[in-house]
């Protein structure tokens, strides 16, 4: 997804790969954009707050679905 299309306060589907032992698992979760930064954006999931860099946003936020 293009960073320019992200709106703070909206939720997005985060598709990511998680390395575990000798394999790589895929997972999806809904994350909410808190704010846009120069080199990425800050997202929240429950009580967790994290930043995704521009390259991760392009790769991991592949779906443009939003929930309110």
Kindly give the confidence (pLDDT) of every residue in the chain, 68 residues in length, as a single tens digit, with 9 standing for 90 and above: 888 889 999 999 998 888 888 899 998 999 999 999 999 999 999 999 999 999 989 888 865 555 55
How much is the pTM? 0.80
Ramachandran region, residue 16 (left: φ > 0; alpha: ψ -120 to 50; beta: rest): beta
Closest CA to 50 of 29, 34, 28: 34
């Amino acid at each position: 997804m293009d960073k320019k299309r992200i709106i703070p306060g909206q939720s997005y589907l985060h598709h990511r790969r998680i390395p575990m032992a000798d394999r790589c698992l895929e997972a999806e979760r809904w994350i909410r954009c808190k704010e846009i930064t120069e080199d990425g954006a800050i997202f929240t999931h429950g009580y967790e707050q994290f930043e995704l860099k521009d390259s991760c946003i392009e790769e991991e936020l592949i779906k443009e679905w939003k929930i309110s």
